[in-house]
Amino acid sequence: MQIQINTDHNVAGHEALATHVKSVVEGALSHVETHITRVEVHLTDDIGQGSEKSGKDDKRCVMEARLERHQPVAVTCHAGSMHQAVEGAAHKLTRIVEHTVEKIRDKKRRSPVPDLTAEAQVPEE
């Protein structure tokens, strides 16, 4: 599972933040990682660093998981700190990926098994 991290110009993309994001994503999705090819993480500060208008939920984390042979799923979390936003988004993403994987499994279980005995019988002459 690849993890790609993108930040806007208001977020300092330092190594500690990247390490934190990767560990949170890997920990949250480790049990379903075989179904995921890539996770894209987008970190933004809606107000900006050093702004006097800083709000309580101005940090945003958007996570998108690319599932094998399926459409990507995405979640968004706003929080007061970037770490909280990352952890909240990882939790949401885990739930939606688990739900999607379970739907795929249920669909496979419900697929009718073709009756091969009808094709295998050779008409008698």
CA distance 91 to 83: 12
Q: Into how many domains does the chain fold?
A: 1
Question: Domain range for residue 36?
Answer: 2-110
In terms of pTM, does the model score above 0.75? yes
In a domain, 30, yes or no: yes
CATH at residue 33? 3.30.160.100
Contact 35, 29 (CB under 8 A): no
pLDDT in tens, the chain (125 residues): 999 999 888 887 678 899 999 999 999 999 999 999 999 999 998 775 554 555 577 899 999 999 988 899 999 999 999 999 999 999 999 999 999 989 888 877 776 666 666 555 556 65
In a domain, 43, yes or no: yes
Contact 39, 17 (CB under 8 A): no
In a domain, 85, yes or no: yes
Place of tokens 């073709």: 114
pLDDT at 2: 95
In a domain, 65, yes or no: yes
In a domain, 116, yes or no: no
In a domain, 117, yes or no: no
CA distance 66 to 108: 20
